[in-house]
Structure 1
Amino acid sequence: MKNAAHSFLAARSGIALLAAVLSAVAVPGATQASVAQAANGGYQGLFDVKARKDFLAQNPSSDARKACLAVDADAKWLNIEVIKGLTTTQGYGTDRSGNQYAWAVMVLSGRALAGDKRAEEMLTAFLLKWADAGAFSETEKIHDAYYALKRLMLPTVVAYSIIRDGLGDQEKQRLIAWIDPLVRRTDQIFEGSVDYNNHRYLADSVLMAWGSLTGDQELYQKGLDRFGIILNDARADGSLPLETRRGARALWYMRQSLTSMTVMAEIAAGGQDALFEATAAVDGRKKSMWTVLSYWMNGMTNPILVKAYSAENYIPGPEQDFMKPDFGFLENRGNGRHYLAFLEAVAAHEPPNFIQRRAGALLEREGANERPLIDEFAGGNATCFWRQG
């Protein structure tokens, strides 16, 4: 049923996947066949691993493959102490005790994707060690700790997708028995704004990735639902109300939301669900992910567009003056991560439109010299996953 519309709110109440539109969000390309495919064995996860491995093998001198191998693997990672649980933190911020774990997973998964067999073996041994020890299983049930868990689970799911075909059945079951309940925990509702803002977007990107990979239609649908809700919630100019109120970090959290939207759209592409082209209508005007992305970029070049919203100064972060926007996301964070990583996927999407070309220019201007761009919110080494050259 070509160009059929999804009902993004349907999964909340158990309504069928292709129910009538409830919230005016249209998603081209959703079909009964794509739903059956998910139920019978899954889509691709974040991206088509086999196709990407083939591309990298066929282009051994490409910048993409160089990015996969740019960071050396460290045998000491196998000795990192397993973290049994994540906890809440005092003041602004989140539990960063899992940073070493995440870095090891992201580096090794990129190298494994590029054909580094030693890295693949290390990654397998590393994940099995943490799985067998029940890592993160004692995470404190509070939104701050669960936010840290969400950040760690996305690269974990991506790493599993990369090594899955090389695993024995017993190894697969050990990893699934560990990953599955942790992923499902991220669906926790805390009765607050974190159930609707970028925290929730991240959770649903994790749930969708795992649902796609394992063929769990209900989890996969959560990402489709959330993407539609985001578009419905966006103002006509593309701004997201729960993010732009965040004072100096209004654009910071807009970017975080866009990263999760990009992840959901990339996952959906494997199920033939065209979220990049999805739209919602307000007062006769259509909104899409490109509207949100355009607002974010416009806000960087003309901050006055943001200040009417950011003046609310709701939990603004380190900088209390909303008149001083925080553009720290344009730089490497000093721990190897880069918040512009998601733009690698945006820039590679075909066919390109004007807003994508703007995003590509931003990526080249602000991130080209800092590649590979690696970030938990994007699932790992985004340059390795999506760069075409």
Structure 2
Amino acid sequence: MVFLRAGLIIILFTAAALAAPLVPPEGFTQPPATPAQATSLSCPDAPQPFTGALDFRSKYEGSDSARATLNPQAEAAFHQQTRAIADMEKFVSTQVTAWHRSGDPRNVSCLVSALNRWATAGALLGDARNHTGKSMRKWALATFSSSWLQLQFSASHPLNAWPEQAQNITRWLGNVGNLTASEWRDLPQSRVNNHSYWAAWALMATSVVTGRQDLFDQSLAIYRIAMQQIDAEGFLPNELRRRQRALAYHNYALQPLVMIALFARANGVDLFEENRAALPRLAARVIAGLDNPQPFTLRSGVVQDRAFLQHPVNLAWLEAWCQLSTCDNKQRARLTSLRPLQNSRLGGPVTLLFGVKA
């Protein structure tokens, strides 16, 4: 009877844990830095909803298997074709950042109105006819969901004035999440790379927005594939194929993985030690490579293109990493020199989200 009773307690405890609502890390729930105050702010024009097929040219069109050489003509076409989506990502991130800094409810009004138009129009639900189309869908979802959940979970409850619109937007994000989940599920190992990791991060953020355990579980499943791909020296073989951009793509691949681990921890799942601490191994390799890219040169066989270091947005993940792990003085000094950091696809005002006034 004692063993039976103990077993029942364990089962009930596990069921209760599984039924717990999904939540973001604490920083994503904070109210604005200043008290709410209405102003005469007028909303900028938001991009019109993108409702067409997601059929876009790749900026690496015509490149070899390394997919590392930009095609200027194709890149210009890509930016023209995806302008509405990219501009909406910027709009959403800008409004969330402004709201965090000022507490102005007009920023919430602007954001809710714009996202509600996209939701009502069924934006981003069209057929994704190529890899670039699928990629744009999951990148946009990462931006929209990671921004939206800040309003949804804020201690100041800014969405209380918008119940119907909030429900419509949440439903739509779930529908975009359904497509993203189906497009990045069960890929062969050779095709699981940074794109899959970003899809997993989009699913993680969307799982919290919608409270859906299935999206949370799929995010973790992709994350765990990534951990198995990290070798003993902290390299990702599929990113080493990017030759002169191997370091840049290791850095890019690491960003969503750090966010997934941070959100998983907030929900009682500690991924830090997966595959003999694979994530710390990858992070250590990338952080060392920021100052000394020689190991990437040796493994890829090509001198590394380090132009990405000129853009702080590419290092915004360090804020999350220093929440997940213990950063040394050198890493903290690098962060201080870069702040405030912003990355729309990681939630927007990353420095603010992690409680640092900069």
Give the structure-2-normalised TM-score.
Answer: 0.78
Shift, 1:207, TM fit:
1.0
Query: Sequence identity, in percent?
Result: 22
Relative to structure 1, is the Cα distance of residues 175 and 344 closer, same or farther in structure 2, using a 3 angstrom cutoff? same
1:14: which partner in 2?
none
Shift, 1:53, TM fit:
1.4
Question: What are the ranges of 5 or more consecutive residues in structure 1 without an aligned counterpart?
Answer: 1-30, 61-72, 281-285, 312-321
2:180 counterpart of 1:205: no
Shift, 1:296, TM fit:
0.9
Shift, 1:331, TM fit:
2.2
2:237: which partner in 1?
241
> Which amino acid letter does the alignment assign opposite residue 132 of structure 1?
T
2:319: which partner in 1?
344
1:104: which partner in 2?
91
Aligned counterparts of 1:33 and 1:326: Cα–Cα separation in 2: 51
> Which SS does the other structure have where 1:326 is aligned?
coil
Matching residue within 268, 281, 292 for 2:282: 292
> Which amino acid letter does the alignment assign opposite residue 185 of structure 1?
L
When Rg is computed on C-alpha atoms for both structures, the one with the higher figure is 2
2:142: which partner in 1?
154
> Which SS does the other structure have where 1:75 is aligned?
coil
Cα deviations by residue, 1:196-250 (Å, 9 ceiling, x for unpaired): 1000001111112212333211211223223322222111111111112211110
Relative to structure 1, is the Cα distance of residues 53 and 74 closer, same or farther in structure 2, using a 3 angstrom cutoff? same
CA contact 1:207–1:222 (8 Å) conserved in 2: yes
1:124: which partner in 2?
112
> Which SS does the other structure have where 2:234 is aligned?
coil
**Greater relative contact order: 1 or 2 (C-alpha under 8 angstroms, separation 6 or more)?**
1
Structure number with the higher helix fraction is: 2
- RMSD, matched Cα: 2.8
Aligned counterparts of 1:300 and 1:235: Cα–Cα separation in 2: 19
Aligned counterparts of 2:48 and 2:190: Cα–Cα separation in 1: 30
1:88: which partner in 2?
56
Aligned counterparts of 1:213 and 1:81: Cα–Cα separation in 2: 23
Matching residue within 154, 165, 168 for 1:171: 165
Aligned pairs for 1:278-317 within 5 A: 278-280=273-275, 286-311=276-301
Moved more, 192-201 or 216-225: 192-201
CA contact 1:38–1:212 (8 Å) conserved in 2: no
Relative to structure 1, is the Cα distance of residues 259 and 47 closer, same or farther in structure 2, using a 3 angstrom cutoff? farther
Cα deviations by residue, 1:71-118 (Å, 9 ceiling, x for unpaired): xx872233x222213322144166642111001101111223342211
Question: What are the ranges of 5 or more consecutive residues in structure 2 without an aligned counterpart?
Answer: 1-10, 61-74
CA contact 1:194–1:200 (8 Å) conserved in 2: no
CA contact 2:115–2:169 (8 Å) conserved in 1: yes
- Paired residue total: 314
Relative to structure 1, is the Cα distance of residues 248 and 380 closer, same or farther in structure 2, using a 3 angstrom cutoff? same
Cα deviations by residue, 1:43-84 (Å, 9 ceiling, x for unpaired): 22365543x217x359x9xxxxxxxxxxxx872233x22221
Matching residue within 20, 31, 38 for 1:53: 31
Aligned pairs for 1:18-33 within 5 A: none
1:224: which partner in 2?
220
Aligned counterparts of 2:222 and 2:26: Cα–Cα separation in 1: 19
2:72: which partner in 1?
none
